[in-house]
Amino acid sequence: MLAAGVAAQLVGCAANDTAAVRSVDDHRLGNGQPPVALSTTLDMQLDWQQQAALDPAFATPAGARRLDLAGATRVGEAIVVVRLREAAAAGAAPAGLAEWTYAVDCRSQRTRLLGAGIGIGAGLPGALSPSVPAPAQADRTRLFGLVCANRTACELRIKANACERVRAASLAALSQPSLRQAK
């Protein structure tokens, strides 16, 4: 009898681990444990200039806070987990920059802050530092829109996906000698 009860509990746990994420309020997102089998890593490590190259409609407006996309994972049909990071000044190390993780419902535009901290990885789910204020709603909403619009076009497993092409073009442009220097 005891063995049957334990087996039922284990089956319940296993079912919970493979159930689709249908809401930004799913408890598995808050502790950073979405079902791995249902997750798709997105190739979205894009600085603010690369974001504009991917889709000019999502370019950082003049005067807005520059934020980098530090990563994204699709964890449900319309649910993505998005990591944002303050944009580093040219040549500066990102170690002391603020980082946030949000769950985003691409259909309803509902969001939930999952983590915030200073330093790479410090803003992962479950780490909520009250001393790290969230970016302005307009700034994060713009980036959430970019991620949602490209949540299938930028899958990491797709070779030469849209995000990879943007980063490659950005790197190629950096390696080109300036036209002014050539004169």
Position 36 scores a pLDDT of 79
Q: Which residues of 36-72 are buried (b: 16+ CB within 10 A; e: fewer)?
A: eebebebbbebbbbbbbbbeeebbbeeeeeebbbbbb
| pLDDT tens digits, 47-65 | 989 999 999 998 888 888 8
Beginning with the edge strand found earlier in the chain, give each strand of the sheet holding 79-86 in spatial order: 40-46, 67-74, 79-86, 98-105, 111-118
Asked whether residue 179 carries a pLDDT value surpassing 70, the answer given is no
Q: Which helix (H) or strand (E) holds 72?
A: strand 67-74
CA separation for the pair 151, 67 (Å, rounded): 18
Please report whether residue 126 resides in a domain.
yes
2 within some domain: no
For 24-50, what is the mean pLDDT? Answer: 86
Residue 82's H or E segment, with its range, is strand 79-86
Distance in angstroms (rounded) separating the CA atoms of residues 86 and 177? 28
Tell me if 5 is assigned to some domain. Answer: no
pLDDT digits (tens, 9 = 90+) for 135-154: 999 999 999 999 999 999 99
Kindly give the pairing relationship between strand 111-118 and strand 98-105: antiparallel
Domain presence at residue 1: no
Which of the given ranges, 27-36, 160-169, 171-180, has the highest pLDDT on average? 160-169
Q: Is the pTM of this model over 0.85?
A: no
Q: How confident is the model at residue 19 (pLDDT cuts 50, 70, 90)?
A: confident
**Could you tell me if residue 153 is inside a domain?**
yes
pLDDT of residue 16: 54
What's the whole-number average pLDDT of the chain?
A: 84
| Residue 130 resides in a domain | yes
Position 15 in a domain = no
Its domain, for residue 107, covers 24-176
